[in-house]
Amino acid sequence: MKSLYLLNKDLRLKENRVIEVLKKSKSCAFVYWLKKDFKEMGEARLSFLIESLLELEMQLNEVGHKLYFINSLEELDLKLFDQIYFSKVYNSKEQKEFETLKEKTCQSDTECFEVENSTLYALSELPFSLEMLPKGFTSFRKKIEKKQTQLNKCTIGKSLTFDSFKPIDLEHKTVSVLNERLERLTKNDMFTGGEKSSLEHLKNYFWNQDRARTYKETRNGMIDFFDSTKFSPWMALGSLSPITVMNELLEYEEQVEKNESTYWIYFELMWREYFKLYSLKFGDKIFNLNGLGYKVFYIDDVDKDGAYFNQWARGETKEPFVNANMIELHQTGWMSNRGRQNVASYLAKHMFLDWRLGAKHFEKYLIDFDVESNWGNWNYNAGVGSDPRDRIFNIKKQADMYDPDHEYQSAWLIK
């Protein structure tokens, strides 16, 4: 059987369920779908993606395979393959793209397989059906924990061998050609893309820095790199599996300490899990102005030329705390969770602008952008999600609480 693994947001070899399935194939080609949105990415996000692809290519080269890329499905010659595998996607935008692939395979003898590969729990393991997904995160978490307070350690992909399938040579370009573009980009030096870097950071956070024991106390910090886990950029591209993170967390709890902070890391993994399922269940609704439709989102009709929004986007509002966060985003591709909540609240609840503009702006710049977490969080902050409470952040109070000495603001604001 000749197989194609069409990669998307699963740029890793370790704990990769697709590769486990591929071991049954006689030959395989690895192809990354470099979609059109890469042309719209900020430099830090794009450089992180290219680094991740080059790292994966190097890993595949070491076991005798190549990593090709395509820009569109039209470039694929399906007659070359008996089977196509890809990781399951959880949002309607990407689902529609893969539906096109499925339609193409229906016109040939090629079979198409979707593999659950980016969550802690398979859909079949949940204590409820997708249709019965609890309305709010807290109910979701409690139902999960009632069934199983923690995952058993997972062993998929621990010992990878590629002897079972041979490489298939294609006429497409390999991702190595992207190295030339990478050299022209400005990147965030705190983050290096790829599975190897993700595993190094994971070990560093838990063991060398020993920061898991104090995560709950430091997670809102905005200066120290290790105040929060910073796993999300690698998880967004699938260079780091949530199962790998969970296994490391369990190991730390067994060998070092299990406390409220280590639980809170699991708690954050649950938020990621919830937004995957939330996006899968509600589909296109998460992209609507009124979200799930439980309330009407009010827009102040004073910004027809976009000037008001651009003040927010460029970090030129009346709030220095908001401005500092937006400038950090533009220069580095990163913003803390505390910052994201404040700038989102300011755009939606103080400026009364279309919150979707903010979600799209984050999509362009954030190195840890993924559809489900980004749009799920914007739904939540705009008050149009499954928990439509009217949350409004007092920006000045937040700045006093989390940047009392103005150290963070001074670091990013031009004097």
Ranges of each domain in the chain: 1-117, 119-155+196-282, 288-412
Tokens representing 84? 């196509």
Pick from 304, 308, 347, 351: nearest CA to 325: 347
Tokens representing 250? 């369990």
Q: Which residues pair with 30 in a beta bridge?
A: 5, 67
The one-letter amino acid at 66? K
Residue 58 — very low, low, confident or very high, per pLDDT cuts 50/70/90?
Answer: very high
Does position 193 have pLDDT exceeding 90, yes or no? yes
So what's the pLDDT on residue 148? 66
Mean pLDDT of 258-265: 98
Which strand (E) or helix (H) includes residue 104?
A: helix 92-106
Pick from 110, 63, 45: nearest CA to 82: 110
Counting other chains too, the contacts that 185-189 makes at CB distance below 8 Å and 24 or more residues apart are 185/43, 185/44, 185/46, 185/47, 185/50, 186/43, 186/44, 186/47, 187/43, 187/44, 187/47, 187/48, 187/51, 188/44, 188/47, 188/48, 188/332, 188/333, 188/334, 188/367
So what's the pLDDT on residue 161? 65
Does position 211 have pLDDT exceeding 60, yes or no? yes
Question: For 117-133, how does the pLDDT look when each residue is reduced to its tens digit (9 = 90+)?
Answer: 999 999 999 999 999 99
Domain 1-117: homologous superfamily in CATH: HUPs (3.40.50.620)
Question: For 300-352, how does the pLDDT look when each residue is reduced to its tens digit (9 = 90+)?
Answer: 877 778 999 999 999 999 999 999 999 999 999 999 999 999 999 999 999 99
The CATH class of the 119-155+196-282 domain is mainly alpha
Q: Return mean pLDDT, the chain.
A: 93
So what's the pLDDT on residue 390? 83
So what's the pLDDT on residue 160? 55
Tokens representing 100? 């096109």
Residue 414 — very low, low, confident or very high, per pLDDT cuts 50/70/90?
Answer: confident
So what's the pLDDT on residue 158? 46
Does position 108 have pLDDT exceeding 90, yes or no? no
Question: For 142-183, how does the pLDDT look when each residue is reduced to its tens digit (9 = 90+)?
Answer: 999 887 644 444 544 444 567 778 999 999 999 999 999 999
So what's the pLDDT on residue 303? 79
HSE of 90, CA atoms in CB hemisphere, 13 A: 26
Does position 387 have pLDDT exceeding 80, yes or no? yes
Number of other residues whose CB lies within 10 A of the CB of residue 264: 16
Residue 103 — very low, low, confident or very high, per pLDDT cuts 50/70/90?
Answer: confident
Question: For 74-100, how does the pLDDT look when each residue is reduced to its tens digit (9 = 90+)?
Answer: 999 988 999 999 999 999 999 999 988
So what's the pLDDT on residue 293? 93
Mean pLDDT of 241-258: 96
Does position 229 have pLDDT exceeding 50, yes or no? yes
The answer for residues whose C-beta is within 8 angstroms of residue 120's C-beta and 6 or more apart is 151, 242, 243, 246, 269, 273
Residue 228 — very low, low, confident or very high, per pLDDT cuts 50/70/90?
Answer: very high
So what's the pLDDT on residue 331? 96
Residue 226 to residues 214, 229, 325, 336, 413: CA-CA distances in angstroms? 10, 6, 18, 11, 22
The answer for residues whose C-beta is within 8 angstroms of residue 309's C-beta and 6 or more apart is 303, 347, 351, 353, 357
Dist CA 315 CA 322 (whole Å): 7
Mean pLDDT of 25-48: 93
Residue 104 — very low, low, confident or very high, per pLDDT cuts 50/70/90?
Answer: confident
Does position 389 have pLDDT exceeding 90, yes or no? no
Question: For 298-313, how does the pLDDT look when each residue is reduced to its tens digit (9 = 90+)?
Answer: 998 777 789 999 999 9
Q: Which fold has domain 288-412?
A: DNA Cyclobutane Dipyrimidine Photolyase, subunit A; domain 3 (1.10.579)
Kindly give the pairing relationship between strand 111-115 and strand 67-70: unpaired
Q: Which residue has the tokens 């009010």?
A: 298
